[in-house]
Structure 1
Amino acid sequence: MTSFIRNQKDDLDNELLEGYTIDDLDSSSVKAYKAKLLERYPESGLDTKSEEEFFRGAKSNPRNSILVSLFTRMGAAERAGSGSQKIQNIVIKNNFKEPELETNIEETKLKLWTVQPAEVYPELSDVEQVIYNIISDTDDIKGLSKKNIQDMLKDNNEYTVKAALNRLTSLNLIEKVGGNRNRTYRRVMSTLEMMKKIDDISKGVMNMLLETKSKNL
């Protein structure tokens, strides 16, 4: 099952389990577009979640516990509160554009993009697209210097590379790190990635503490 279809399935599950409808005027829907997936369902104002709470998951407020039990037994849904973490993992793994969450007392709208950030800007030149991909694919957390990038683009002069880097920076697709002499460029880290890294560090520290405690017993 592709990530796109899996997200649609998870969205439909969420709609049926957590959608809050009080009369015929309210509705729930999942709309699929070529470049993105849009989820929308009416939400009770009392249960409105912040963006951080939504993507951290682990907390669910289903309207009907019987439906939750039924969906779980059918295999149509998994542990409550785990859906948003799946979305987070898919976005980070594929380097998709960060989801957009809008919530108010009447409704919650979630846009799940299935494209990389640079693809949202079709006006990017070929050089800008190539440079963005090069920077995104590097495993070095410090990023790449202009010279590193220039060495990979033999057919483009220094001016072209510099102009492309400046444009990508202005679009907030990449960021500059360090001063002029030691400057590097790296992909802008999404909020989801930052949250996941913080969670990973917290879990790592907790595991170390537990291991130390068990050795001292």
Structure 2
Amino acid sequence: MIEPDQILQETVKLEFKKAKNSLPDDIWPTYSAFANTMGGTIILGVEEKPKNKFSITGVENPAKIVDDFWNTVTSAEKVSCNILSDSNVIVYDIRGKTVIIIEVPEADYGQKPILVKTQNRKQMTAYKRLGTADKIATPEQIVYMYANNKTDMDSTVIDGYDIDDLNLSDIRDYKAEVLNITKQDRYREISDEEFLKEIGAFKRKRPFKDYGLTIGGLLFFGKYQSIRDYYPAFQLDYFKKDTNLNPDWQDRISSGDMSYPEMNVYSFYNLALKKMTDNITEAFVLDENARRKPYRSDLTVAIRESLVNMLMHAYYGADVPLKIIETPDYIEFYNPGDMRISREEFIIGGTSKQRNSTVSVLFRKVGIAEKAGSGGPRIFDIVNQYSLKMPDITSTDIDTTIRIWKTNFLSTLENLEEKEQQVIEYIVATGKISKGEALGELQLTEYAYTKAIKSLLSQEIISKRGNNKSTHYVLKTNTEASTFSDQKFLKELEDMLRKKAKR
């Protein structure tokens, strides 16, 4: 809610409209832009003044304006889809002035694009939010929203493509993997084309009986130029750098290069995974039973899951490449295409909305990927086991980035002073620290403790909880770490209750 003395400023997710006596027509581009981007709030009853200043002026007859809004947003002639319910529209009083607050969520991918008709544009038009402006969606954005509103993007049979468009050596390497897993000798006998039908790379063109190559089959096994004929901007890149700020790379895999003339999704997976995992050094880490943990193989699993997640959920029709950047501290996986589920659902697991089901099935058939919705929890469990920094997840309405850290959390704080290091190590071990614990357990002086706390707060490494005698400090974690911590606590609580119930 807005307060009377609050300094008002529009943002990428906040828009003001005057709406003194009637519903403004320019509310509809904003509704469309918020729904097609990342959601936002429209507040009616705020007027823009000179020098980009805003003041609360209120609306007259709010009941009529709200009725007009609902009549229009539910009209198929004016708005392609209503994504709001009663709870999204609130009439709010601020010192005798009435404003109307409209919360517009981001539309589900199956509802986009949200189109609207205004007095200035008689045809239905889609908008996107850019900064504080509502911009008409570009042709590329329109294509992406229509393509992305399908549940499955890669199972369609495409005309004009056949087995000659595929890399036979990749198909035979894959067949050898299937044979190794299943131990079924019949895979030695069947033709490449029959094998491709069986694994779903070729499908029947129903209601007819003939088969054709699917988009997923082309992406997974295709020759580079054949894939580019269908997706002109298709590009897969891996860069190894000494730092992300350095434009020069130390090692590289790039589709279309002379070294990789026929690279597809399958061959890129094999090459990139080998590059990222060959030089992982085995760490000496013990479990609770004093047995050495398999650090190298576990970290390989986390990297593999991140790589597969990128390849299974990418939007391959984009004009930007899928890209991996590896540095000494982290590996960053970038793919065009939104995540389709929330960060919380990714971390907790059990929910999957696949963009490329054929590619996903092909990975699962050779044990590269497991059940849908299991990758996120596996990544976070491994990171937690070895006290690595929690992964960073950034998902917009058009792309997704997951950064996997290779560094231990405490190793990132090596430049701290001795007392600060003691405080952090105590928090990592116990979850929090108070003045009593610092003075008693760590035997710090009050001066040393206060100085360390002030420094750690200024560096935004810790945050304060509670007041007076209950004051304590915890690590300032990212959203992903907080979500994982909450889920871990609930799982431990559930296990404890189950044990009690069995007694």
Separation of aligned partners in 2, 1:12 and 1:74 = 15
Mark the structure with the bigger radius of gyration: 2
Give secondary structure in 2 for the equivalent of 1:63. Answer: coil
CA separation of 1:94/1:169 partners in 2, compared to 1, >3 Å: closer, same or farther?
Answer: farther
Aligned to 1:149: 438
Question: In the alignment, which of 359, 364, 367 is matched to residue 67 of structure 1?
Answer: 359
Partner of 2:303: 8
5 Å-filtered alignment, 1:1-217, equals 1-22=296-317, 25-43=319-337, 45=338, 48-117=340-409, 119-121=411-413, 123-138=415-430, 143-151=432-440, 153=442, 157-181=445-469, 183-188=471-476, 190-197=481-488, 199-200=490-491, 203=494
* Matched-pair contact (CA < 8 Å) for 1:48–1:103: no
Q: How many residues align?
A: 205
User: Structure 1 residues 4 and 29, CA, compared in 2 at 3 Å: closer, same or farther?
Assistant: farther
Between the two structures, name the one with larger relative contact order (CA 8 Å, sep ≥ 6). Answer: 1
Higher helix share: 1
Give the SS at the match of 2:403.
Answer: strand
Tell whether the 8 Å contact from 1:117 to 1:173 is kept in structure 2 after alignment.
Answer: no
Letter in 2 for 1:164: A
Distance 2:488 2:302 in 1: 22
Over 3 Å counting, the alpha-carbon distance change for 1:177 and 1:104 in structure 2 is: closer
Equivalent-residue separation in structure 1 for 2:362 and 2:380 (angstroms): 25
State the shift of 1:206 in Å: 8.9
Aligned residue type for 1:162: T
Q: Give the conservation status (yes or no) of the 8 Å contact 1:36–1:111.
A: yes
2:288 equivalent in structure 1 = none
Kept in 2: contact 1:128–1:168 (CA 8 A):
yes
Q: Where does structure 2 lack aligned partners over 5 or more consecutive residues? A: 1-295
* Aligned residue type for 1:195: D
Could you say if the C-alpha distance between residues 159 and 41 of structure 1 is closer, same or farther in structure 2, counting changes exceeding 3 Å? same
Cα gap change, 1:178 to 1:69, in 2 (>3 Å): closer
CA–CA distance in structure 1, aligned partners of residues 348 and 321 of structure 2? 26
* Gaps in structure 1 of 5+ consecutive residues: 213-217
The structure-2 alpha-carbon separation of the partners of 1:66 and 1:152, relative to structure 1 and needing over 3 Å to count, comes to same
| Aligned twin of 1:215 | none
TM-score by length of 2: 0.35
Contact 1:98-1:112 within 8 A present in 2 as well = yes
Regions of 4+ moved over 6 Å: none
3-state DSSP of counterpart to 2:407: coil
- Alpha-carbon distance in structure 2 between the residues aligned to 1:76 and 1:82: 12
- Letter of the aligned partner of 2:304 in structure 1? K
TM-score for the superposition, normalised by structure 1: 0.73
Q: Which is further off, 68-77 or 120-129?
A: 120-129
Rate the CA distance shift 1:174–1:109 in 2: closer, same or farther, 3 A: same
Q: Distance in 2 between matches of 1:6 and 1:161?
A: 40
> Kindly tell me: are residues 102 and 144 of structure 1, through their superposed partners in 2, closer, same or farther at Cα, counting changes over 3 Å?
closer
Quote how far apart the aligned CAs of 1:152 are.
5.2
Q: CA RMSD in A?
A: 3.4
Separation in 1, partners of 2:412, 2:325: 19
Deviation at 1:200, TM superposition (A): 1.7
Contact 1:92 1:193 in 2 (8 A): no
Shift of 1:84: 0.5
* Between 85-94 and 184-193, the greater mean CA deviation after superposition: 184-193
Aligned pair in 2 of structure 1 residues 179, 66: CA closer, same or farther (>3 Å)?
closer
